[in-house]
Amino acid sequence: MTGPSTCNYWSFSVAPMMDWTDRHCRVFHRLMSRRARLYTEMLTTGAIIHGDRKRLLGFDTSEHPVALQLGGSDPRDLATAAKIGEDFGYDEINLNVGCPSDRVKDGRFGACLMAEPALVADGVAAMKRAVNIPVTVKCRIGIDDQDPEIALDVLARGVVAAGADALVVHARKAWLNGLSPKENRDIPPLDYDRVYRLKAALPDVPVIINGGIGSIAEAARHLAHVDGVMLGRAAYQEPWRLLDVDPELFGEAAPYATMKDVFEAMFPYIEDQLAQGSRLHSMTRHFVGAFHGVPGARAFRRHLAEKGVKPGAGVDVLRDAIALVEDRAAALVAA
């Protein structure tokens, strides 16, 4: 197992996830790990260039280090959007070459770009010329009938030659014909060894592995083979796992001892957001797995589902929900 002394800038991150990793979610996750790299949801270049940038790109300073994930294929638009992201203060620009949704395919971005590695490389080169922060690529090992041994190697070598600072590889194929986006997260078999071979072939390039990783202990085992691990659904659905990141991977104390302590630290942010017009549910929807498996967790979730969605719901709704969780058991979650 890789110990804390070998961990680095890329060692651990929470995956960008559509409809999930918004600014409220990222503030919540940051309170559980000082070290984790956080990512926005994928934002298209068109939305950033033509949309409400403050609404789309605004984030809390506590989120650093935080990366902006872009969806797009036109090199000029990617460069423009990347520069906008840099000017907003993001620490990294990540290009999505892995999302398999139909909307992404129709827009010529996401996983379908695995079939156009030269275009992806052109986009990376354009972004590198436009910004002074790291530019990274998140991809699959292949799509449809591609041979992952060839497809991943061609894409990786192309973007590295174009200047990519790191590669994040979801260790599954994406089947654009025949599987839904949800099915693409589970049905294609995981092939971690393929990502390990990529790292062996590119010893000087940071390679981060993603896909199906369910715990921090499992993440630590991967770090014997690659430079970093990206946790997705496990981090979102059972966020208490993030309290183990700093102690287990970096040899540092967790920011807080228990999930109840995390929520105490979260309250000022929630109150500020409510004062600015945000609805409580826009934040509490990210909390439903906070006490997964703990006595009182079901009552916690039910209370938020019933009371948190009401117009005008305030922070007391969350306080009352937390009070339904047993203190002793809540402490054991972080143990």
Residues annotated as part of the active site = 99
Please give the full DSSP string across 246-260, using - where no structure is assigned. Answer: HHHHHS---S-SSHH
- SS3 label, residue 32: coil
Pair 172, 184: CB distance under 8 Å: yes
- SS3 label, residue 15: coil
Q: How far, CA to CA in Å, does 331 sit from each of 11, 287, 294, 295, 335?
A: 26, 16, 10, 11, 7
Q: How far, CA to CA in Å, does 328 sit from each of 17, 291, 335?
A: 32, 12, 11
Question: Side-chain half-sphere of 99: how many Cα atoms within 13 Å?
Answer: 25
Which residues have C-beta within 8 Å of that of residue 156, sequence separation ≥ 6? Answer: 139, 167, 198, 202, 205
Query: Token pair for residue 164?
Result: 């990519």
